[in-house]
Amino acid sequence: MIEQLPRQISLVSPARPRRIPTSLGVYVVHRLAPRLFGGTERSGYLARPEKALFDLVYVRAAAGSRAYLPELSLPEGFDRGELSRWSERIDSKRLRTLVSRRLRELLREVV
């Protein structure tokens, strides 16, 4: 969904956050509450596009920053409603508002 080459590969887990340097690059593990974990393909390791976008926006908002994706393109069949369903699971009203607002902004910017 993005064309940029990342400096690091981000992933989410209910486990503790950490950085994992490898010969392929640095993997950064971001912790999600168990109720926000899921949304993966059948293999269980790769997030569906909707969940990947939600995770990025959520992790950035929780850290006090903002997700910028000027090159974002959505695949055919992208389910915008799934973003709302994930957002509704966020316990913090403030964080839920920040994430929902940013997701709406990003979706408006998609061409």
Model pLDDT for residues 31-71, shown as the tens digit of each residue = 999 899 888 876 767 889 999 999 999 999 999 999 988 88
In this structure, are residues 29 and 15 in contact, taking their beta carbons and an 8 Å threshold? Answer: yes
Burial class (CB in 10 A: 0-12, 13-18, 19+), 53: buried
Q: Is 16 exposed, middle or buried (0-12, 13-18, 19+ CB in 10 A)?
A: exposed
The domain limits of the chain are 8-109
Tell me: the pLDDT tens digits for 70-87?
888 999 999 999 999 999
Distances (CA, A) of 101 to 15, 22, 34, 41: 27, 35, 23, 26
